A and B are shown apart, each in its own frame.
Chain A
Amino acid sequence: MDRETILAELKKVMAPYTENKEKLAAITEETDLIKDLNINSSNLVDIIIDAETKYNVEIDMESSERMIRVGGAIDVIQEKLNKTA
């Protein structure tokens, strides 16, 4: 799955957790979930759980620490998808 597709899908996954809809619409791989989208740090867990369900993968603690930026989240999801493929 290409990075642009995952980024578009991540927008939907993150939508319930940010009030800042304009910034969400304009995210790039550099976007920081906490600093730029004002997502509550405890909600990162929920985003990870939702991503796990969506892609049917398991994201371990170590990988989840790399999901602070959108690009990092895409890296992790791609890696996990490739593993299961």
Chain B
Amino acid sequence: MKRRVVVTGMGVVSSVGNSVPEFLQAIRNGTSGIRFIPAYKEHKFNCQVSGNPDFELDMLRDYITETSLYGLKVKGIAYGIKASIDAWTMAGNPIESEKPSWDTGCIFGGSVADGQMIRNVINRVEANESRKLGSRIVEQFMNSGVTSYISGRLGLGNRVVSTSAACATGAQAILMGYEYIKFGTAKRMVVGSTEYVDSYMFGAFDSMRVLARSYNDSPERASRPMSATANGFVPGSGAGALILEDLDYALDRNAVIYAEILGGNTNSGGQRNGGTMTAPSSEGVIKCIQDAIADARVDADSIDLVSGHLTATMADKLEIKNWVTALGRSGAEFPLINSLKSMIGHCLSGAGSIEAVAAILQLVHDFAHPNINLEDPNPEIADLIGLENMPTAIVKKEINIVAKANFGFGDVNSCLILSKYRP
């Protein structure tokens, strides 16, 4: 018997809100979280705008112990803690537990520890003062930092895994948690991903000339997926988290069920046939989406909404072509499509899980959020999927199934098929 996997809690940290209610309101209204960053101008970056959460470490005062908070420096870890514990609380679970929960695990992804923190370590060591570093650096230097804080706080005793797959990280972590429950390894999983884009990662992307460079004077217009004037992505920071649960387990404890994960897939184009370190192979992308749909046992025609990767680069058009082929739908027959990145930019490893939270909110509240900055749609994209499927204002209609995909460096793809929960 195939186990069903449902979502019972959500948490989010983003440039348009650090709680699910704030985030929901922002994505309904099409609020931009992109701002001008003076330090980026001083650094002579081409792109001087970014989507940063309005976040202070002190916000974690009621989330982790005072001693744990003292010495916590890495923002990516802090975002992940907040999103996860909010999701856990939303799912109706107490934070304090005496014993480990052996049937609950955590899969959380990220890119890299905070470069600013690493720089401080480097400076200390180079000044021959390593003895002053103290006991709290190693746990935050490691990529496993975020999962170890989350699982420690919640007492999680099942699989605890830290993952990284560039921009495909978030959706991949959710998929892995789904699979652990589906195959009976765990009953419950805290899943998600986080990203804090420090100046160093930002500078490296800037040097690749893939960031939006023409909107430093009008930051809210900078992130323009599917637009004719899209000329690069806008980096953002944040985290998203979900509580996934075996349906029977959720029903037994009378949990509120927000959505069901019907299936998904993660693969790689193998960096062959057009796939490279930085560009996805269409073959791999199409296979990923089609395998996800097959895993979910749904018909491609039943998908109401595509939550695209759509970063606002040249690759948008190719992505749309791939969706058209994978779904076998085009023009007026194509589903609604939107990109949360138009509002919060591209949160890299954090993107998939934040976008999954947005996708679930659209399922729960029956709407498709607007694509902002799409006043000048790319005509080639509009030709493929129809202007009416690229909403620039909120569309209120029944949304039953959403396909959420992300594609990352290394030619890695992830696709989730999410649905309203029907008993």
Contacts and interface: CB of A to CB of B under 8 A. Distances in A.
Interface stretch (A2-10, A25-33, A37-45, A70-78): A37-45
B132 interface: yes
B66 A45 contact: no
Contact of B134 (A18, A19, A40, A45): A45
B95 to A, nearest CB: 14
Interface in B104-150: 131-132, 134-136
A19 B65 contact: yes
Interface in B36-60: none
B69 to A, nearest CB: 9
B283 to A, nearest CB: 49
B70 interface: yes
Contacts of A45: 134-135
Nearest to B69: A16
Nearest to A17: B67
A33 B132 CA distance: 20
Contacts of B132: 49, 52-53
B21 interface: no
B71 interface: yes
A46 B66 contact: no
Contacts of B66: 16, 19
B65 A46 contact: no
Given A17-B67, A19-B65, A46 B136 contact: yes
Interface string B172-189: 000000000000000000
B90 to A, nearest CB: 26
A45 B134 CA distance: 6
Contacts of B65: 19
A43 B137 CA distance: 12
Interface string A51-62: 011000000000
B73 to A, nearest CB: 13
Interface string B70-82: 1100000000000
A40 B70 CA distance: 13
A16 B67 contact: yes
A18 B135 contact: no
A68 B130 CA distance: 23
Nearest to B139: A42
B129 to A, nearest CB: 10
A64 B136 CA distance: 18
Contact of B67 (A18, A49, A52, A53): A18
Contacts of B134: 45-46, 49
A64 B380 CA distance: 70
Contact of B135 (A16, A19, A42, A53): A42
A75 B67 CA distance: 26
A16 to B, nearest CB: 4
Contacts of B70: 16-17
B136 A49 contact: no
Interface string B181-200: 00000000000000000000
Nearest to A41: B135
A43 B67 contact: yes
A17 B71 CA distance: 10
Contacts of A43: 67, 135
A72 to B, nearest CB: 19
Contact of B131 (A18, A40, A49): A49
A58 to B, nearest CB: 9
Interface of A: 16-19, 40, 42-43, 45-46, 49, 52-53
Given A42-B135, A46-B134, 17 more contacts: A16-B66, A16-B67, A16-B70, A16-B71, A17-B67, A18-B67, A19-B66, A19-B67, A40-B135, A43-B135, A45-B134, A46-B71, A46-B135, A46-B136, A49-B132, A52-B132, A53-B132
Interchain residue pairs A-B with the least CB separation, the first 9? A16-B70, A42-B135, A46-B134, A45-B135, A46-B135, A49-B134, A17-B67, A49-B132, A19-B65
7 contacts: A16-B66, A16-B71, A19-B67, A42-B135, A46-B134, A49-B134, A52-B132
